[in-house]
Every structure is written in C-alpha cells, then in structure tokens.
Amino acid sequence: MNEYLSLSPEVAEALRTGKPVVALESTIISHGMPYPQNVETALRVEQTIRDNGAVPATIAIIGGRPKAGCTPEEIEYLGRKGQAVTKASRRDLPVLLARGEDGATTVTTTMIIAHMAGIRIFATGGIGGVHRGAQQTFDISADMEELAQTPVMVICAGAKSILDLPLTLEYLETKGVPVIGYGTDELPAFYTRHSGLRVDYRIDTPEELAGVFRAKQACGLRGGILVTNPIPEEFSMPADVINAAIEQALAEMDAAGIHGKACTPFLLAKVKDLTGGDSLEANIRLVLNNARLAAQTACALNGR
C-alpha cells in the first residue's frame, strides 16, 4: 500500500471483502459547480451508487494525503473552499503531498489514486481531451495520457463539448484506448446526446462492460477503457443552443487571455450563465446517470 494513501473505513472494508466500489472525482465539487449545488450533487451521487449496490469512494487530497472515501464533512469543506483548492493533476501530486496541502482530483489523479487503492471503476461527468486550437497551443488534457496507461474503466458522458471532439477521438485511437458507447453508436457530447461522431464499439449491458474489462486485464494490456454514457434524453440540450454558448464562452476566454488548467472551470461557468443555468442542471443529471451505470458495472465485475 502506498505510504501516503488513506482509505475511509467503509472503502477499506469493501475492498477487503470484495464488495463493488466506484471512484468519484473531487474537481467537480470544487471547480465544476457552484456552492451549494456542488455539495448537494456530490452527496446525491454517492447515494445513487449505494442505491445501486456499490460503495462510493470520493477521492481527494486532504492535508497532503490522497484519500479514497471522503466524509460528508470533507465534501462540504471542498465545496465551500471551491476554487481555492488546488486543481490537482498528475504533475501537482508530488508537491501537494510533500507540502501537506489539499487538492481536488481531476480525472487523471482520480484514476491514479483509484488504481493505488485497487478500485477499478470510476464515474465522472466528462473527460478532458484535445482543446480547440491545439494545433497551435498543444493544449491536450493529461486525461488522455492517463487513459493510455492506468487500468481503470472511466464511465462518463463523453468528452466535454468545449473540446475538439474529432481530435480527441483520434488521440484516444493513437493511444489504444477503447471508446465504448453505452447503448449508442454515437459519441455523446456531454450536455447533448449527439456529436455526429462514431464510437469504437456499442455495448448495451453492464455485464458486457465488466466482461470487456476482465478480458483487457487478463491479456495484460496497459491502460483504461472509456465508456461514454449519453445524458438521458429528457435532459439533453439542443446541440445548436449549447454550441452557440460554447463558441461565445471560447471567444471571451481568448479575449481574457485565460489558458491552462483555468480554461475548463471558466468555460463551464460561462456556459452555465449563457444558458440560464440549464447546463448546470444537465451536468447534474448526467453525473447521476453515470454513477448509476458505474455502480451496476462494478457489481457485475464483482459478480454481484
């Protein structure tokens, strides 16, 4: 066991006894949503996982220790502190641990810590990817590299629609990451079900998802599996509405000179404002939907 890693008693007992566990990130709490919706959503997501037979493990760095299984009080702390908590990617981990500081884990660091703990299934909102204009900026999320090397199944609603989705798919193909559509042949685009892009494979049951993960591990293949689970139809936003908001948000971001890890929080907040809050409600609904599927897949993987 990693000397820095801390497991909550519930998560430690679940892993010891072979119960299904689902990892959850904490950047969505501190950087992805405003308070108090961030805390309310995090607790609803945990309850959704429990309702579907698995144990939730919200992951964060608390006082310099990577933790799998945050308490409600720690979730409240992360939510209230918000963007004052460091958004922690792979490059930030050594410094935060050495300094004893807090960090909200991205998809990348959640995968790292989940793998450290022995957790194989992770539910999130959307992954990072290749940013628009990356041909000039080389702005590519570390999530792409982590998916290529860390054996965790990530269940999401696709790559965030603020990204260059065709290039994101190309990058994942180059890295050998299977992109699976759950119940769909089309890549969902976070707020909306439709992107016009095809995924590698369609799978329709949690049992088959679990079987694919087992087969990948049995073959000794590196890296994870990306499962893209469309937002429920009744909460899907019209593609033209969300794309117009994204284009305006991108223009304002460029004008303000915002770049790097500050891009995604800025864009998500701006899109929320431009859509009158509709994108926030869509975000909440898709995260709950992903948590449900992740719990069901974790149960199938554990034979429950």
Q: Given a cut of 60, is residue 1 above it in pLDDT?
A: no
Q: Given a cut of 80, is residue 259 above it in pLDDT?
A: no
Task: List the catalytic residues.
Answer: 25, 160
Nearest to 230 by CA among 281, 285, 177: 285
Q: How deeply is 84 buried, as exposed, middle or buried, from its count of CB atoms within 10 A (0-12, 13-18, 19+)? A: exposed
Question: Residue 34: is the preceding peptide bond cis (ω within 30°)?
Answer: no
At 304, is the pLDDT very low, low, confident or very high (cuts 50, 70, 90)? Answer: low
Average pLDDT in the 126-141 region?
Answer: 86
Q: Where are the alpha helices (DSSP H) in 105-141?
A: 107-117, 134-137
Average pLDDT in the 200-229 region?
Answer: 97
Which domains are assigned to the chain?
6-301 (3.40.1790.10)
pLDDT of residue 278: 82
Q: Given a cut of 80, is residue 4 above it in pLDDT?
A: yes
CB atoms within 10 A of CB 27: 29
